[in-house]
């Protein structure tokens, strides 16, 4: 599947208001489905689908009939997804917060399937044909990518409201594959805050810190917003104007993070045949309030998700390993060298190895990934201390490849220098 996003342009305020009404109606249907599930024990997904038709025919809710029938069904599907996730969390004793389904108050999207809209022949305009009659909008997207796909390939359409306008997201049935030139290059990466990541050969990628760069502007904008807030009263037009300015600043930071994560992940996958990274639990790391802002600004999780995605379409091997002891262990002799967070240099008293702590961790991560891969190829998974659940999400699909393809990675030469040993640097 592939998602293509285009911005809705050229509409009048009345047209955008119609889109807003469609979003509110979709929210109403979803909340009704959640309430029906609460009041009726044993409710199934099919029961929620039937409820959509009942709401459309109800005389007390005539506006529901304006929403396309498949859009109503999509809203019921959203409600059932939250219910199914709650059931799954209840069966998993390791999850403390079960996530009981809640009612939505500020929904910003409505989802259609294959009806309720019509695309022009040149894919530059879209017309919404449901009861709200939002009319025709211009579609603005990069290089007019919608031209390359037929209407039969478009399985769903979601209209999303953001701080800078309305967007259409097209879910396209397309199997994306990229050609990859295999060179036998392997790499392990250690994610950090000083540098975004350090690989097993000592190369680093800088941490852009997009939120830190915009923090002063955000602070001033939010201070002006708070001054315009009136407690217990209807907010003025100036308040909402300033609120949109704050939202646009946050949206810009979010887009900068996503763009940088895509570019770094793609460059990493294109230049290597095996990528090993540490499976960090970011939700636990941000509990440290001294580092939470910096960790969130680094966007480690988003980066690893894109690494997994690009590894899949490039058909390379990608392994997620647990991060325990990767910083403490010496990458040469294996001795444990304990460090504080402020200690940036690894100095082993046993083998006298001196190098940057992140470089040392990256080499340990690569070694651990190669060990996991060797156990998989030898059929000894689960017979050693290695837990196959520590492979991460990538392990579910990465290992569905030929054994001959993977065996060349089991005993590679780790690129640590011409001499085969890790060079000692006094100023690492």
Do residues 34 and 168 share a domain? yes
| Residue whose C-alpha is closest to residue 315's, from 161, 180, 200 | 180
Do residues 274 and 142 share a domain? no
Over the stretch 258-290, which tens digit does the pLDDT of each residue have?
999 999 999 999 988 889 998 888 888 888 889
Q: Residue 410: is its pLDDT beyond 80?
A: no
Q: Residue 414: is its pLDDT beyond 60?
A: no
Do residues 127 and 198 share a domain? no
* Size of the chain, expressed as the number of residues it contains: 428
Q: In the predicted model, what is the mean pLDDT of residues 363-379?
A: 81
Residue 141 is assigned to a structural domain of this protein? yes
Do residues 38 and 150 share a domain? yes
Q: In the predicted model, what is the mean pLDDT of residues 75-79?
A: 93
Spatial contact of 151 and 119, defined as CB atoms under 8 Å apart: yes
Q: Report phi then psi at 261, rounded to 5.
A: -65, -40
Residue 248 is assigned to a structural domain of this protein? no
Residue 164 is assigned to a structural domain of this protein? yes
Give the separation between CA 85 and CA 70, rounded to whole angstroms.
22
Percent of the chain with pLDDT over 90: 39
**For residue 365, what are the domain limits?**
186-206+269-407
Residue 413 is assigned to a structural domain of this protein? no
Over the stretch 137-173, which tens digit does the pLDDT of each residue have?
998 887 557 777 888 888 899 999 999 899 999 998 8
Residue 214 is assigned to a structural domain of this protein? no
Residue 236 is assigned to a structural domain of this protein? no
Q: In the predicted model, what is the mean pLDDT of residues 247-256?
A: 94
pLDDT computed for residue 216 by the predictor = 93
Do residues 148 and 201 share a domain? no
Do residues 364 and 280 share a domain? yes
Do residues 163 and 198 share a domain? no
Of the segments 270-274, 384-388, 421-425, which one has the largest average pLDDT value? 270-274
| Number of domains the chain is built from | 2
Q: In the predicted model, what is the mean pLDDT of residues 31-37?
A: 94
Averaged pLDDT of the chain: 83
Residue 358 is assigned to a structural domain of this protein? yes
pLDDT computed for residue 179 by the predictor = 86
Give the separation between CA 309 and CA 314, rounded to whole angstroms.
9
Do residues 20 and 168 share a domain? yes
């Amino acid at each position: 599947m592939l998602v293509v996003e285009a911005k809705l342009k050229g509409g009048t305020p009345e047209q955008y208001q119609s889109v807003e009404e469609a979003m509110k109606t979709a929210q109403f249907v979803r909340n009704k489905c959640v309430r029906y599930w609460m009041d009726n024990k044993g409710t199934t997904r099919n029961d929620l689908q039937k409820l959509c038709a009942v709401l459309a025919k109800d005389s007390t809710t005539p506006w529901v009939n304006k929403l396309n029938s498949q859009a109503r069904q999509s809203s019921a599907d959203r409600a059932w997804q939250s219910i199914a996730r709650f059931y799954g969390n209840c069966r998993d004793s390791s999850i403390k917060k079960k996530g009981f389904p809640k009612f939505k108050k500020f929904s910003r999207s409505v989802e259609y399937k294959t009806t309720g809209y019509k695309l022009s022949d040149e894919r530059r305009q879209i017309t919404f044909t449901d009861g709200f009659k939002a009319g025709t909008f211009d579609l603005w997207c990069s290089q007019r990518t919608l031209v390359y796909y037929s209407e039969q390939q478009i399985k769903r359409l979601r209209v999303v409201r953001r701080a800078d306008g309305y967007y259409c997201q097209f879910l396209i049935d397309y199997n994306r594959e990229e050609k990859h030139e295999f060179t036998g290059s392997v790499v392990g990466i250690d994610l950090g805050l000083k540098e975004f990541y350090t690989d097993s050969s000592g190369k680093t990628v800088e941490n852009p810190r997009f939120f830190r760069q915009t923090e002063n502007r955000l602070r001033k904008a939010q201070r002006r917003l708070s001054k315009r807030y009136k407690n217990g009263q209807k907010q003025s037009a100036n308040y909402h104007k300033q609120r949109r300015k704050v939202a646009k600043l946050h949206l810009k930071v979010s887009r900068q993070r996503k763009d940088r994560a895509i570019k770094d992940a793609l460059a990493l996958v294109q230049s290597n045949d095996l990528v090993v990274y540490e499976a960090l639990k970011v939700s636990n790391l941000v509990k440290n309030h001294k580092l939470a802002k910096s960790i969130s600004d680094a966007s480690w999780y988003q980066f690893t998700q894109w690494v997994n995605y690009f590894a899949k379409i490039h058909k390379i091997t990608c392994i997620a390993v647990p991060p325990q002891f990767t910083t403490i262990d010496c990458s040469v002799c294996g001795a444990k060298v304990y460090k504080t967070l402020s200690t940036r240099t690894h100095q082993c008293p046993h083998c006298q190895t001196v190098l940057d702590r992140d470089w040392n961790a990256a080499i340990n991560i690569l070694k651990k990934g190669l060990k996991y891969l060797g156990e998989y190829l030898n059929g000894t998974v689960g017979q050693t201390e290695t837990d196959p659940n520590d492979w991460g999400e990538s392990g579910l699909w990465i290992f569905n490849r030929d054994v001959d393809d993977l065996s060349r990675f089991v005993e590679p030469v780790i690129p640590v220098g011409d001499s085969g040993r890790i060079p000692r640097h006094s100023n690492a």
